[in-house]
Homo-oligomer: A and B are copies of this chain.
Amino acid sequence: MTEGPTFLALPDRMSKPRSRGITHILDKGLPQAATEDLLDQAAHLIDIVKIGWGIGYVDPTLPRRIAAYADAGVPVCLGGTLTEIVARQDQVARFRRWALSIGVSHIEVSNGLQALTDDRKLGLIKELAADFVVLAETGSKDGSYPSTPEDWAEEMVRDLDAGAQFVVAEGRESGTVGLYDADQAVHEEIVSAIIGQIPPDRIIFEAPLKAQQTWFITCLGAEVNLGNIEPSSVLPLETLRLGLRADTAAVQIPQ
């Protein structure tokens, strides 16, 4: 990588490995050469990649792709919907062996399908944290849970206590549930409750859409942790963080 330009005054950014300003991307089955192409350009800006929902189970190229991510210093997380289905079919032991065998280091534990008890979710976090970095997600796929902002924060506190490294606030790929209403607007009261209870280096807000990323950067700063970023949006998100796009230029750039 060549040295980039340095003539502008921009917000500070930590470099990898970083605890703030994490960019967590959503891989929906990125082909191998496209993955290597992305990493060649932007690996220094990608902190975690999630293989969405059950994509990892049907993708025959996953082991090779995980190796490419590892070579570039990017850890791979399996999506929570897969973990939920594994739990419902009582296959956690075989799931764990398979994940370890292909080089997975991170696992998401969620309850988006609402088929697990609270205790089962906490048990899974504890069990999987022995072998993996656990990301515990809160929020359902249909927006029905948790009931109140306080419930969001309390579930996250319990998940961290059970051994999760990060808690993740649900936004899906669409940005229309969980943290967001059907029109993609942020439920600000949920964000307020979360940041009142959870340290900023332990929370990842799923924010798939530009307007949502802009909202978080404007309200919580350049180094907010954002998740479910499309692979093609890694550089655009970095420009939003630094005030190099119109949406955040007035906020981020010294006048």
Contacts and interface: CB of A to CB of B under 8 A. Distances in A.
Interface of A: 1-2, 4-5, 7-9, 28-29, 31-34, 36-38, 40-42, 44, 52-55, 57-61, 63, 81-82, 84-86, 88-89, 91, 94-95, 98, 112-113, 141, 232, 234-236, 238-239, 242-247, 249-250, 253-255
A117 to B, nearest CB: 15
Contacts of A38: 31
Contacts of A9: 89
B249 A58 contact: no
* Minimum-distance CB pairs A-B, first 6: A54-B244, A29-B235, A31-B37, A141-B246, A7-B94, A33-B37
Given A4-B58, A29-B42, A141-B247, 9 more contacts: A2-B60, A2-B63, A8-B91, A29-B235, A41-B60, A53-B246, A81-B245, A82-B244, A112-B246
Q: Is the interface of A mostly helix, strand, loop or mixed?
A: helix
Given A53-B239, A235-B55, A41 B37 contact: no
Taken together, the copies of this chain in the complex come to: 3
A201 B255 CA distance: 37
Contact of A239 (B42, B55, B95, B113): B55
Contacts of A2: 60, 63
Contact of A254 (B89, B235, B236, B249): B89
Contacts of A239: 53-55, 57-58
28 contacts: A1-B60, A2-B60, A4-B57, A4-B60, A7-B94, A8-B57, A8-B85, A8-B86, A29-B235, A31-B34, A31-B40, A31-B41, A32-B37, A32-B40, A33-B33, A33-B34, A33-B40, A34-B37, A40-B61, A41-B59, A41-B60, A44-B60, A57-B242, A57-B244, A58-B242, A81-B245, A89-B254, A113-B249
Nearest to A239: B54
Contacts of A55: 235-236, 239, 244
B246 A81 contact: yes
A62 B247 CA distance: 23
Contacts of A33: 33-34, 36-37, 40
